[in-house]
Every structure is written in structure tokens, then in C-alpha cells.
Amino acid sequence: MRKKNRPTIRRRHWLARAIWYALAGLVGLPILVILGLRWIPPPTSAFMLGWHIDHSFKNPPVRAKLYYRWSPWEQISPFAPLAVIAAEDQKFPDHWGFDLTAISAALDHNQRGGRLRGASTISQQVAKNLFLWSGRSFIRKGLEAYLTLLIETLWPKQRILEVYLNVVEFGDGVYGVNAAAEQFFGTTPSRLSHTEAARLAAVLPNPKGFSAARPSAYVWQRVRWISGQMNQLGGTAYLKKL
């Protein structure tokens, strides 16, 4: 029987180790990054980097400014987290990253045709905004699911909501509640009123198309609905569930 060539065996072992290390890195690196971000404010996000790229490659390039400044939880009006929960994810304190009922309803709605409806939780939106790109591919949704599970496992609910309020886009180039409060209302995030917080939450489905500073009739309709939901949830006392 002919013996296998030793250099060939070594190359196979080297390739197997390289694949193993690559897979370990793909799995382990997100864990380390997300664990660090439990305490460290994100300096930027994938969506912010994408905004810079989009404006750089326009013809001619657009020299627009991106507004982003971190605000810790203690410096954010409690109306702001209450408003985004009321608008985006009322089961946020209770789920583990995914609202299965909302996902099922969205699938049924989309199968019937018409405008596509999403069912992303706040945790999923944090994963997408921080690390991914917009779109509906299966690869992106798979990565989003993995990152969402890590975020839900490694962060407390309050931290998830704190990061969301700081990185979500409230207008073209306006990221986070600090920039939004200053740009749209001339105030600080700690002084946002009940209605101002509802106005910010009302534009989240389409921050480039809707305006918190100059709400359309449709946005005002959403503001009234969100304000009512904030009251039905029990007001800011609801945040004690986090």
C-alpha cells in the first residue's frame, strides 16, 4: 500500500486548523465585542458608517454632518424609553429578543400581499444598527438572529434600551436621542417632554421620510396613538419592569 505524502498531510492539517480558527473567530469575536459594549459606549455603528459611505459616493460627494453624542441612561428623560417601547416593542421587558406572535402576524400579512410589514424587536434593531446593514437577505437575518441572542444573553434589558436610544436614527444624519433632542427641540435628552418623546418615536419607521421637528398629519396621528399607549402601559412606572 502506497504511503501518503507527508507534506500533503501537513497541508491538510494546516488547512483544517485554519478553518477551525476562522470559525472560532467568527463565533468568538462578536461575543467579545458585545460583552465589551455592555459597559463601553459604541463610538459609532454600522448604520453610521453606511451613512458616511453613502454621502461620500454621491456624485458630487455631499459634505453633510452626522450628529451623534452618547447620553447615559441617567441623563435621558424616562419618557424617551417609554415612548420607543410603546411604539416599537411593547413586549420588550418579557421576550428574549424575538416576538414570535408579531413574527407570525407579519408573515401572514406579507403572504397576503401589499406593503411588507416587519416584526423586529428593539433587541433585533440594536443588533442590526450596530453591526449589520439594511436589507432582507437570509444571510443578514441569520446574523441578526445570532447577534440578538448574544445581546439578550450578555446585556440587561436597560442596557439594550440605552444603546438603542443612543444609536437609532431619528432623522437624516441624526443618530441617538441626544442629537435628536438638540436638533429638533433645542433641548437636552433629560428634558424631553412626554409629547416630544412620542414625536421622536413616531418617526422611527421612516426617519428620513418623517420629521419630528415638522410632523405631518400622519406623524401627528402616530404621536397621539403612541401617547395613548404610553399612558395605557402605566406611564414611566412601567420602566421598573426592566
Output the CA angle 178-180-182, nearest 5 degrees.
70
**What would the pLDDT profile of 76-113 be if each residue is shown by its tens digit?**
999 999 999 999 999 999 999 998 887 666 665 555 55
Residue 196 Cα distances to 84, 118, 136, 165, 224, angstroms: 12, 25, 31, 14, 11
- Cell numbers standing for residue 177: 436621542
Q: Is the pLDDT of residue 212 over 50?
A: yes
b/e for 119-154, b at 16 or more Cβ within 10 A?
Answer: bbbbbbbbbbbbbbeeeeeeeeeebbeebbebbbeb
**So what's the pLDDT on residue 29?**
86
For 38-241, CATH gives: 1.10.3810.10
**So what's the pLDDT on residue 116?**
45
Q: Is the pLDDT of residue 134 over 90?
A: no
Q: Is the pLDDT of residue 208 over 80?
A: yes
Domain spans in the chain, listed from the N-terminal domain onward = 8-37, 38-241
**So what's the pLDDT on residue 56?**
84
Percentage of the chain lying above the pLDDT 70 cut: 80
**So what's the pLDDT on residue 145?**
94
**So what's the pLDDT on residue 220?**
98
Q: Is the pLDDT of residue 114 over 60?
A: no
**What would the pLDDT profile of 18-72 be if each residue is shown by its tens digit?**
565 555 566 668 899 999 999 999 999 999 999 999 888 776 666 678 999 999 9
Secondary structure in 3-state letters for the chain: CCCCCHHHHHHHHHHHHHHHHHHHHHHHHHHHHHHHCCCCCCCCCHHHHHHHHHHHCCCCCCCCCCEECCCCHHHCCCHHHHHHHHHHCCCCCCCCCCCHHHHHHHHHHHHCCCCCCCCCCHHHHHHHHHHCCCCCCHHHHHHHHHHHHHHHHHCCHHHHHHHHHHHCEEECCEEHHHHHHHHHHCCCHHHCCHHHHHHHHHCCCCCCCCCCCCCCHHHHHHHHHHHHHHHHCCHHHHHHHC
- pTM here? 0.86
